[in-house]
Each structure stands twice: as structure tokens, then as C-alpha cells.
């Protein structure tokens, strides 16, 4: 499964939330210039499906696009039809997992407790988004990987340049990056896009260090 392999290889899923189609596309290009190869467009963004379709068509050969904040199977289906290759949710909905798998896409539901995380895995999730990861930090991922080494965990929320290496060093499958990489601004300027590219380069450099230089 290409999307799963890409997440395992590149580790970083950059989250684009709240932007109109053209601005979101410009941000995706800036992220690509900084080495990011996976982006998530959240469905609570304006015209999110059009944005997913545009990025998928224009950058699909170079960057994989997923849909985030997917709360139900109907939304998942619409996102997949628009070109999303992976589906992320902030919470656990087993019907959304089933629908995503039926279409051959990567399912990444959100879960927090060990029971929720294992339930997601047993329902067919490819990766489990540990959200919010802010409070418990890398030690929680380490604790989960002890008794449940078969799980692929994607901590999201509170992942920064200061702790991204720590998350990966304790066994995180990858990380979801939100405002620490793409923060909301009123105007998407050239300076802002350059800032995103620079931050992306820093993150990808840190990930290379944490993975022994295997990121490409």
C-alpha cells in the first residue's frame, strides 16, 4: 500500500487547516519544497474537497494527499472520491475505518486510551493517530509500544522541533504536524511560504537524524 509505505518512509504528515483552495495549494507546494511528502487537508476547511482534488491532481505524482477531521463514513467516501489516499480522524468511528478499507485507502483513526487504540487496530486501522499527544508526550508512546508492539502509532498535537526526535526514537510510526509547521495566518504571503519551507526543512532534517538518515 503506497500511502502506508510513504508514511513509514517520510514520517511526517503536515496538516493544512482552514485555508481556501489556492492558499492551501501554495502551502502544499511550500511544504514540498521543504521536503514534506504527505499532507492532510482537514474537512473543516473551506471547500476542502476541491482543495484535496487540486493538490492531488497537481502534485499527486510527488506528494500524497489525505483528508483529516473525517467524522463519518459518508465524509470519508467523499474525500476518497476527491483523491484522498488516506483518511484521518480525531476520534474513533469503526464504520469510517471499514469504509476507508473497502476503498483500499489507509485508515488513521484517532484514539487516546489503550482500549480505544486497540479497538481501532482490531477494527482494521492501518495506523492509529494518538490524539491529543500534547499532555502525555513521547513517554506515552514508549509505554504503549511495550505491550502493543504491533501497533503503528502517529502522535499528533503538540509535536514540535523540540520533541519530534523523541517521539520517533521511542517507536512512533510517524508524526502529525499542525500549527508547529503550518500556523493560521490572515494572509499567505511569499514570506510566509518561505517560512513554511524553512520549517519543513528543519523538521525533515530532524527526522533524518532520528531515523539514521533514511528519510528521502
DSSP code of residue 129:
E
- Distance (Å) of CA 10 to CA 23, 110, 143, 147, 192: 24, 20, 23, 25, 23
Could you tell me if 97 and 126 are in contact, meaning their C-beta atoms sit under 8 angstroms apart?
no
Q: Which of 40, 54, 85, 199 is catalytic?
A: 40
Name the one residue in this structure whose C-alpha cell is 463519518.
72
Active-site residue, 208 included: no
Q: Where are the beta strands (DSSP E) in the chain?
A: 12-16, 38-42, 64-68, 86-88, 106-108, 110-111, 128-130, 153-155, 175-177
DSSP string spanning 42-107?
ETTSTTHHHHHHHHHHHHTTT-EEEEES--SHHHHHHHHHHT-SEEE-SS--HHHHHHHHHTTPEE
**Which of 29, 54, 85, 129 does the annotation list as catalytic?**
129
Active site residue 129: yes
Task: State whether residue 40 is helix, strand or coil.
Answer: strand
What SS3 class is residue 134?
coil
Tell me the catalytic residues.
40, 129
Amino acid at each position: 500500500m503506497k500511502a502506508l509505505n510513504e508514511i513509514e518512509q517520510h514520517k511526517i504528515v503536515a496538516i493544512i487547516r482552514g485555508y481556501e483552495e489556492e492558499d492551501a495549494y501554495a502551502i502544499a507546494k511550500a511544504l514540498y519544497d521543504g521536503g514534506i511528502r504527505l499532507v492532510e487537508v482537514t474537512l473543516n476547511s473551506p471547500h476542502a474537497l476541491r482543495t484535496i482534488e487540486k493538490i492531488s491532481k497537481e502534485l499527486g505524482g510527488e506528494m500524497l494527499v489525505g483528508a483529516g477531521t473525517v467524522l463519518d463514513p459518508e465524509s470519508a467516501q467523499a474525500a476518497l472520491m476527491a483523491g484522498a489516499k488516506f483518511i484521518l480522524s480525531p476520534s474513533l468511528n469503526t464504520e469510517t475505518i471499514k469504509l476507508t478499507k473497502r476503498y483500499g485507502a489507509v485508515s488513521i483513526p484517532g484514539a487516546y486510551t489503550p482500549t480505544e487504540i486497540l479497538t481501532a487496530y482490531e477494527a482494521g486501522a492501518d495506523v492509529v493517530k494518538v490524539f491529543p499527544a500534547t499532555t502525555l508526550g513521547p513517554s506515552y508512546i514508549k509505554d504503549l509500544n511495550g505491550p502493543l508492539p504491533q501497533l503503528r502509532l502517529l502522535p499528533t498535537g503538540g509535536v514540535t522541533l523540540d520533541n519530534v526526535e523523541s517521539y520517533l526514537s521511542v517507536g512512533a510510526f510517524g508524526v502529525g504536524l499542525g500549527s508547529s509547521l503550518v500556523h493560521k495566518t490572515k494572509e499567505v504571503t511569499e514570506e510566509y511560504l518561505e517560512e513554511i519551507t524553512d520549517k519543513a526543512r528543519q523538521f525533515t532534517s530532524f527526522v533524518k537524524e532520528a531515523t539514521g538518515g533514511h528519510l528521502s
